[in-house]
Copies of this chain bind each other. A is one copy, B any other.
Amino acid sequence: MRNKELTYKQIIETAYVMFSEKGFDQTSLSSIASEIGISKPAIYYYFKSKDELIKSLFEIIAKEIQSITFMDLETITPANFKQNLYLLGENTIKHQEKDHHFNHLFNQYMLLSTRDKDYSERLVKIQQHFLNTFHDMLTHGVKIKAIKDENILIKSQLLALVFDNITNFILTDMTLDFIKIWREAVDSVLNGIVNDEQ
């Protein structure tokens, strides 16, 4: 007799890894089951279909993105503004270099979204949230007079694009100095609009 919560947790965790490594289609429910040491129908006790299991994982990913890109604006001052932008990138880069599964899965949902309207709408919202995070950050910078109010919208979109693609490039075997690239991006974008730079 197994523990109910344990089994549920094992299915989620095993699916997370296997889906990321082999893809949704190439990972059968039986292979997930045998990896855990249970039978295939046991999975159907927890999830009414394979699609629902895939959807459950999406919810987990979506929540993780929220927490990764969270920024507490209250702690930002003109003195530490640029440093905080550096850190936002550096922390994420270090996090992604440890867990490749996250981005592999996310890419698969991106592909799913082209033929599934639900995923499409959810992903647009996530990307929007993502863009907003950087826009809020720069807007806050203007408000506390850390930077000048010049082209803030486009500049924040540019930062979001760089940030997002750094995580994609980490997945390939490219060995670039991503932290340096991110710092160059922040420096370039803020160049000329930073106040009080000595």
Contacts and interface: CB of A to CB of B under 8 A. Distances in A.
A110 to B, nearest CB: 7
Contact of A110 (B107, B123, B128, B184): B107
A90 interface: no
A115 interface: yes
A123 B162 contact: no
Nearest to A20: B114
Contacts of A123: 172
Contacts of A174: 124, 127-128, 131
B165 A180 contact: no
Contacts of A158: 162, 181, 184-185, 188
A164 interface: yes
The SS class assigned to the A binding surface is helix
A111 B107 contact: yes
How many interface residues does chain A have, given as a range? 35 or more
Given A172-B124, A174-B124, A21 B184 contact: no
Interface string A123-158: 110011001000000000000000000010011011
7 tightest Cβ-Cβ pairs between the two chains A and B:
A25-B25, A165-B165, A188-B188, A154-B184, A161-B165, A188-B189, A191-B191
Interface of A: 21-23, 25-26, 104, 107-108, 110-111, 113-115, 120, 123-124, 127-128, 131, 151, 154-155, 157-158, 161-162, 164-166, 168-169, 171-174, 176-177, 180-181, 184-185, 188-189, 191-192
